[in-house]
Chains A and B, each alone.
Chain A
Amino acid sequence: MTDDKDVLRDVWFGRIPTCFTLYQDEITEREAEPYYLLLPRISYLTLVTDKVKKHFQKVMRQEDVSEIWFEYEGTPLKWHYPIGLLFDLHASNTALPWSITVHFKNFPEKDLLHCHSKDVIEAHFMACIKEADALKHKSQVINEMQKKDHKQLWMGLQNDKFEQFWAINRKLMEYPPEDNGFRYIPFRIYQATTERPFIQKLFRPIASGGQLHTLGDLLKDVCPSAITPEDGEQKTQVMIHGIEPMLETPIQWLSEHMSYPDNFLHISIIPRPTD
């Protein structure tokens, strides 16, 4: 019987085979070959693509290179979303490898946040963790930690060190023995078709009678169109880390085992493939 802890490893070590191609209008001195890379689902584009940048900069002149940005089929990719979320939301039902286009010019100011250094990624990552703990524990656990513990969470992510990360993160997954779960569940629900980037609301994992709320309960409350079948046929898929968890799964369990390192459950609602 699989241990629950195995799920934590499976989530952490998930990878997406990706092919990076330089945008055709970029100015190069020689032809740019595509670059292949296995991307960690739980990380961020700008954190894991130094090699991609170096590869393409080799065939470009310094003056033609400014801030790197990525795009998939015309959509600028938000580096501040975890890679796995971007893939599930935009490309999960297309053939692998995931084909991403690399740009060094014309940064889309209206769509993307700037990312001039790793500090920006760290600040964003830590802000998410803090917000998640505000929801789970009124910020008590994160505020009790020392700066070096915060640093260890970031270093664990940056260096792909599961044990180092979870040594600290396990504290963020605990709750008082008298409670049966967190105060509220940190989650965000994404749909590529809406202007609103995501839905986020207060949602308790335990009902007033003590029963565990499920993923289905969450969706019914926050995004009913995701699970209400039209004409009896389910037009959408509910995806987390590339899989469709059963709607009966307790949301407390999902929060403890399938959150991203930022401690949020990032859930994609995508069109169900028709074949």
Chain B
Amino acid sequence: MSLLTLRRNFFNVHVITTTKIYRENCLRWYIGDLASYDFIPKKYRHLSATNKFTMFCEKAVELIRELHRMGDGQLPAFNEDGIRQVLEEMKALYEQNQTDVNEAKTEGKSELIPSIKFRHSCLLRNQRCIAAYLYDRLLRIRALRWEYGSVLPTTIRFHMCAEEMEWFNQYKKSLATYMRSIGGEEGLDITQDMKPPKSLYIEVRCLKDHGEFEIDDGTVILLKKNSQHFLPRWKCEQLIRQGVLEHVIS
């Protein structure tokens, strides 16, 4: 079945095409778009199931979708593979464009111009997707500092690449410098008490054995399962976030 027939049977759309590659890609986009819907109408279902097309920019959009799927605040593992593939695709496109441009210039083949333009827009799209991916990850990592504190849990650290780690350290440093500069002599820890607290001390219940826990004045508390404690709020916040303690409201 030729591509033209496909087009006529299922999509009553006039696609004004000048080059084969552009036409092909449009079609693939339509079919690929179908695949991105959660619910695919019955008549098109068999299409998307066997769709093994590789479109341009598909991998980049896949990266974005992956981030979108993970809810706010969670950091998935750094998709090195994905980025590498996108960069390879970009390289391939760029090289193709280079040859075409040279051809067009030297031999005056003006019909190559639309595909050059098309490849260029694909490159721009890839660049935009990767930039969005990296930037969104950085925003999430920044939020982690505010949530977990300066020391991140090891699971999260494994999900960050080396550069992201370095960025995180730099961010920590700037934040610490800023916090030291405000609030008088000892500085002010603005990562505590994100919401105005109702009381200085809160009652917490221990959900699992955590061992010994030191509070500000040096005293050590033994956190054993099912014991309840009345502790300063700022010390408990971290442990509550980690799920070791539970705030008891009576």
Q: Do A and B bind each other?
A: no
